[in-house]
């Protein structure tokens, strides 16, 4: 009983956390419940029931299968389902008609062959990346409807009557889903993709903001060292950027279906977010390489470290500022105005670092070479990051045009 | 017409490529066609048809929706569908019984409330990561079946008869799918995950194999430079490793459902592959950082580069050999026997590099510091890669136990 109680408490805590992480999830669940209840009443009350017959259950089936978390997902499934049902229904009727011409014995053979050919080619089509991305569900419904119609064994005029009923119930189910998903707390995939792109870049920025001070913390500033223990999680944020690919791609696919909403028009250049995402992940990769060096600086600060301290911290801070400006530009759909200045500043800091290297002739470096290696690597990776940020900046400029 | 012809040719070429990339796709398509045709005949021929009634269409529906590319995917959907239908059916009957107690007027209200509550909580449950991963489809079918049964408006004894029919047709559909998917050219998710893990590590190995020579190619060996132009694609392979996360996770989820097959027993430690995958991606990240330096070595080979050439190439080659041994160990499910030696060798090379740094006192380095930075960074990242390979080796050791 104790174990059981602990388990219950754990589940309650988890449930609360999932709800609080994104309250729209609670709203989504209630929306599905509402849509289903509405459609059930349609099915339950006799006057309507008699009109639609058994086909009423297709409305329930449609709601359950089609209602997705985002508006784009719901729309894509509704549209796919509608068109696939129409097309497959027409083809199925044609097949049925053809089969009746073959006589009593030829009919099942011809229908069997047709079902086999259509199912095989359609299933193979699902392997095409373009079709898989956008019309996967449609192809599935196409196979299903064609088989059901072709094999139903009804005469053509019966089928047309049945199809009429079934289509109208599917339409009612789909319309209920679309209206509820758009009108009550809509979750736009496009908006989510947009926010995801901005927060990912912000995460990179907050890493770089803290990194410089963290790496050179042994040069003094006791205060900053003590403080940094609490908020070291900024050093972890970039990791979720590395894993964002799948989420970004599915959001972009759904966003493609969405009508104009908020400040996005229909067919906003969602693909551009994917390009930005690729660059952000490249940048996160460089950051991952940086993290190996956080704890590898020498114990005793040397002359060399003091010399390069300034430009390195500046590189890191300025690139952080550039990224923050870019994230802000994404968020507000404006041109990034200060990012270029910050990139320039960080490049100037990089040049400063290079000239320190040149001037502090090697004779002057008193240390062991081993000791200066981490600093050189860190600076060099920071320069790579700056180049990467420049590319991100270009990509976001394209987006804001 | 010309454009049209070009388009057709393009599609044919694409289709061929998709088929040749993985011939099992063609087999899968034919398998779906076969399963559907078999089940259609069941539905079509009157003796059977009369026995099952309209419920026969549930067999077709089950085949279309449940047949997945991998055995694990098909099994997971079949099992989810079966149990969810049973559970929801029982609950639906209970709800129906409860509702009849409420009288003519109370019945629809109570049923509506029950449908709303169940649909809402079940939909929310789909946000739990553990449920989403394994039972997402089951929860969907649960909502669907419960709503259909509760709202059907039949009396309880009618429902039980209907449920019997429907369950038996679903069973026939699911059994057809399982038998065909296991007996004809089975695609095991576990085997695929296994192969993916091995090839990903091989890709890292072939990058490191070529990298050393590529980076130091300006030190002579004209032959290797000319040759390397053709097979530079080995420098790109690691990129697919970075993006393998989503594929790995879905394969691991499907593999969990699969019975013993080949040399894998039921509940092989598939999760361990995910851990290895995380480390492989970390390694690929370091490699991504390396690629920035391939073209940044100085034009003129200097004394310093000649000195460190040997240990650096050795580090790269030995870690490549270690990875190859590890990939082989995964493939053959054996203990990696030589990997540790190679890791040791590469660590020895790393120490050699460090001692060269120490001994070649800075006074002796005649170059500009700027010139030696790329080499230092490359060597330093290689050392990180060696550490990463050690972790991969540990992870694979655990796997082979």
B311-338 pLDDT, tens per residue?
888 888 889 999 999 998 888 888 888 8
B29–A121 C-beta distance less than 8 A: yes
Contact between A285 and B285 under an 8 Å Cβ cutoff? The reply is yes
Contacts of B127 in chain A (CB under 8 A): 18, 25
Contacts of B143 in chain A (CB under 8 A): 32, 36, 64
| Cα distance between residue B32 and residue A123, in whole Å | 7
Q: Which one of A64, A288, A377 has the shortest CB-CB distance to B376? A: A377
| Cα distance between residue A56 and residue A44, in whole Å | 9
Q: Which one of B40, B124, B358 has the shortest CB-CB distance to A25? A: B124
Contact between A91 and A104 under an 8 Å Cβ cutoff? The reply is no
User: Nearest C-alpha of chain B: how many angstroms from A341?
Assistant: 24
Per-residue pLDDT at B124: 94
Contact between B318 and B349 under an 8 Å Cβ cutoff? The reply is yes
Going by the DSSP 8-state scheme, the letter that residue A264 receives in this structure is B
Is the per-residue pLDDT at A392 higher than 50? yes
**How far is Cα of residue A146 from the mean position of the Cα atoms in its chain?**
33
User: Nearest C-alpha of chain B: how many angstroms from A102?
Assistant: 16
- Output phi, psi for B264, to 5 deg: -105, 135
Give strand pairing partners of B264. B261
- For the segment A318-370, what is each residue's pLDDT rounded down to a tens digit? 899 999 999 988 888 888 888 888 888 888 888 888 888 777 655 445 556 67
Evaluate the CA torsion angle B313, B314, B317, B322 in order and state its sign.
Answer: negative
B373–A357 C-beta distance less than 8 A: yes
Residue to test with chain A: of B27, B123, B137, B367, most A Cβ within 10 A: B123
Contacts of A278 in chain B (CB under 8 A): none
CA distances from B187 to A158, A380, B179 (A): 41, 46, 13
Residue B367 gets the label, from left (phi > 0), alpha (psi -120 to 50) or beta, of: beta
Contacts of B112 in chain A (CB under 8 A): 37, 40-41, 44
- For the segment A72-93, what is each residue's pLDDT rounded down to a tens digit? 999 999 999 999 999 998 898 8
Is the per-residue pLDDT at A67 higher than 80? yes
Per-residue pLDDT at B47: 52
Q: Which two tokens stand for residue A354?
A: 């290079």
SS3 state at B55: helix
| Cα distance between residue A54 and residue A166, in whole Å | 9
Helix axes A103-125, A129-151, angle to 10 degrees: 160
Contact between B192 and B70 under an 8 Å Cβ cutoff? The reply is yes
B32–A140 C-beta distance less than 8 A: no
Contacts of B292 in chain A (CB under 8 A): 384
Per-residue pLDDT at B31: 94
> Any CB–CB contact under 8 A between B115 and chain A?
yes
| Residues of chain B where predicted confidence (pLDDT) is lower than 70 | 45-55, 153-156, 218-233, 297-301, 360-369
A45–B108 C-beta distance less than 8 A: yes
Is the per-residue pLDDT at A219 higher than 70? no
Output Rg (C-alpha) for chain B, integer angstroms.
30
| Cα distance between residue A83 and residue A103, in whole Å | 31
Is the per-residue pLDDT at A153 higher than 80? no
| Cα distance between residue A219 and residue A305, in whole Å | 8
What is the interface size between A and B, counted as CB pairs within 8 Å? 205
Per-residue pLDDT at B222: 46
Q: Find, among B229, B227, B382, B207, the residue nearest to B309 by Cα.
A: B382
| Cα distance between residue B374 and residue B380, in whole Å | 10
Q: Which two tokens stand for residue A323?
A: 């990224």
Residue given tokens 């070009």 in the structure block: B6
Q: What is the mean pLDDT of residues A95-103?
A: 85
Q: What is the mean pLDDT of residues A98-121?
A: 87
Other CB atoms within a 10 A radius of the CB of residue A175 amount to 13
Per-residue pLDDT at B225: 47
Going by the DSSP 8-state scheme, the letter that residue A347 receives in this structure is H
Between these two residues, A55 and A103, which has the higher pLDDT value? Answer: A103
Per-residue pLDDT at A221: 52
Residue A366: in which H helix or E strand, if any?
none
Is the per-residue pLDDT at A224 higher than 50? no
B330-355 b/e with 16+ CB inside 10 Å = b? beeeeebeebeebbebbbebbebbbe
CA distances from B273 to A119, B153, B268 (A): 34, 50, 10
Between these two residues, A373 and B390, which has the higher pLDDT value? Answer: B390
B362–A373 C-beta distance less than 8 A: no
Per-residue pLDDT at A154: 65
- Determine the number of helices (DSSP H) and then strands (DSSP E) in chain B: 16, 0
Q: Which two tokens stand for residue B282?
A: 């970390």
Residue B188: in which H helix or E strand, if any?
none
Give strand pairing partners of B261. B264
| Cα distance between residue A279 and residue A275, in whole Å | 7
Residue to test with chain A: of B30, B44, B364, most A Cβ within 10 A: B44
Q: Find, among B350, B324, B348, the residue nearest to B338 by Cα.
A: B324
User: How high is the ipTM of this complex?
Assistant: 0.87
Q: Find, among A210, A262, A202, the residue nearest to A231 by Cα.
A: A210
Contacts of A34 in chain B (CB under 8 A): 116
Contact between B333 and B400 under an 8 Å Cβ cutoff? The reply is yes
Residue to test with chain B: of A13, A43, A288, most B Cβ within 10 A: A288
B57–A115 C-beta distance less than 8 A: no
Contacts of A368 in chain B (CB under 8 A): 358
SS3 state at A203: helix
Q: Which residue of A has its CA nearest to B148?
A: A57
> Any CB–CB contact under 8 A between B146 and chain A?
no
User: Nearest C-alpha of chain A: how many angstroms from B223?
Assistant: 31
Contacts of B285 in chain A (CB under 8 A): 242, 285, 288-289
Q: Which residue of B has its CA nearest to A154?
A: B44
Residue to test with chain B: of A69, A111, A123, most B Cβ within 10 A: A123
Contact between B249 and B275 under an 8 Å Cβ cutoff? The reply is no
| Cα distance between residue A111 and residue B111, in whole Å | 41
| Cα distance between residue A90 and residue A164, in whole Å | 12
Q: What is the mean pLDDT of residues A146-162?
A: 77
Q: Which two tokens stand for residue A126?
A: 């699902």
- For the segment A299-325, what is each residue's pLDDT rounded down to a tens digit? 666 777 778 888 888 888 889 999 999
A259-298 b/e with 16+ CB inside 10 Å = b? eebeebeeebebebbbbbbbbbbbbbbbbbbbebbeeebb
Instruction: Please calculate the CA angle A319-A325-A331 and round it to the nearest 5 degrees.
Output: 140
Is the per-residue pLDDT at A223 higher than 50? no
Per-residue pLDDT at A199: 92
> Any CB–CB contact under 8 A between B161 and chain A?
no
Contacts of B128 in chain A (CB under 8 A): 14-15, 18
| Cα distance between residue A218 and residue B316, in whole Å | 33
């Amino acid at each position: 009983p104790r174990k059981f109680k602990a388990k219950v408490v754990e589940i309650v805590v988890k449930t609360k956390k999932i709800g609080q992480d994104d309250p729209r999830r609670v709203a989504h669940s209630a929306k599905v419940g509402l849509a289903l209840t509405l459609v059930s009443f349609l099915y339950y009350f006799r006057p309507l029931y008699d009109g639609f017959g058994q086909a009423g259950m297709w409305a329930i089936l449609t709601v359950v299968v089609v209602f997705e978390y985002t508006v784009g997902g719901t729309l894509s499934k509704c549209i796919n389902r509608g068109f696939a049902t129409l097309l497959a229904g027409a083809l199925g009727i044609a097949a049925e008609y053809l089969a009746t011409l073959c006589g009593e014995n030829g009919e099942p053979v011809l229908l069997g062959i047709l079902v086999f050919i259509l199912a095989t080619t359609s299933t193979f089509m699902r392997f095409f990346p373009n079709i898989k991305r956008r019309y996967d569900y449609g192809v599935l419904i196409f196979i299903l409807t064609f088989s059901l119609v072709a094999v139903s064994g009804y005469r053509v005029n019966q089928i047309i009557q049945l199809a009429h009923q079934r289509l109208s119930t599917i339409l009612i189910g789909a319309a209920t889903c679309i209206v509820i998903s758009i009108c009550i707390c809509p979750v736009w995939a496009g908006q989510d993709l947009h926010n995801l792109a901005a927060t990912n870049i912000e995460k990179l920025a907050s890493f770089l903001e803290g990194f410089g001070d963290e790496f050179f913390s042994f040069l003094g500033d006791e205060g900053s060292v003590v403080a940094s223990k609490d908020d070291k999680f900024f050093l972890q944020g970039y990791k979720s950027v590395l894993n964002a690919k799948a989420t970004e791609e599915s959001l972009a696919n759904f966003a493609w279906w969405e009508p104009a909403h908020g400040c996005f028009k229909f067919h906003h250049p969602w693909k551009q977010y994917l390009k930005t995402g690729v660059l952000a992940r490249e940048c996160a990769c460089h950051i991952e390489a940086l993290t190996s060096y956080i704890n590898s600086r020498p114990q005793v600060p040397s002359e060399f470290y003091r010399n390069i301290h300034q430009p390195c911290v500046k590189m890191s801070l300025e690139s952080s500022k550039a990224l923050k400006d870019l994230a802000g530009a994404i968020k507000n759909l404006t041109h990034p105005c200060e990012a270029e200045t910050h990139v320039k500043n960080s490049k100037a800091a990089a040049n400063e670092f290079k000239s320190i290297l040149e001037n502090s002739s090697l004779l002057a470096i008193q240390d062991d070479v081993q000791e200066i290696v981490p600093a050189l690597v860190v600076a060099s990776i920071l320069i790579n990051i700056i180049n990467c940020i420049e590319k991100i900046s270009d990509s976001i400029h394209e987006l804001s045009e």
